[in-house]
Amino acid sequence: MRKLYTGLAWTVAGAVVVQAAAIAFAFGGMLNLVSEGGVVDKALLESFQAAGVGELGFMIHGLVGAVLIPLIALTLLVVSFFVRVRGAKLWAAIVFGLVALQVTLGFSITDVPYLGLIHGANALAVVAAGSVAALRVRRGRKIDTAERADTTDAADAPPAEGASPDAVAA
């Protein structure tokens, strides 16, 4: 389960990179069309007849961002309940929350274009959270119920005879 969790977390981060590449391709193609005297309007975007203009980038950005990444983030959250590593559930929840915010911002940009600033910054937060989630689980220690009981008992017990009260229990 740890490998699955790690793979899903890295996939979320990688999919955001695909998002960035797709939207850069789309806008690069659109700017190329305009620089050659073309006009970009609603009719052109809805007709899907702007071959070579990068419209495929808009479709990739939309599908990956609205469908693929949210599904992977939800799967990561579900898998986190079966991974016995400290912080797995927390970081999966953070990733899922950031992805939910990202999707909401993405669909709200047409009404409030300034949300695009937050949308771009939040994309970086999704990459960071996905990376941290993957790295923490890969390097994390397993949690056993016996280990938890030993840790709480050791914290409550007085120091052993001859041991310094500042000594760390192994």
Q: Which tops the pLDDT comparison, 20 or 144?
A: 20
Banded pLDDT at 146 (limits 50, 70, 90): very low
Q: Report whether pLDDT(15) > 90.
A: yes
pLDDT score of 166 more than 90: no
Task: Give the C-alpha separation, 64 to 84, whole Å.
Answer: 29
> Phi-psi region for residue 144, left (φ > 0), alpha (ψ -120 to 50) or beta?
beta
In three-state secondary structure terms, 143 is: coil
Over 80: is that where the pLDDT of 147 sits? no
**Which tokens hold the place of 80?**
């986190």
What is the rounded distance in angstroms from the CA atom of residue 152 to the CA atom of residue 36? Answer: 70
Q: What is the Cα–Cα distance from 60 to 44, expressed in whole angstroms?
A: 17
pTM of the model: 0.77
Quick one: three-class SS letters along 93-113? Answer: HHHHHHHHHHHHHHHHCCCCC
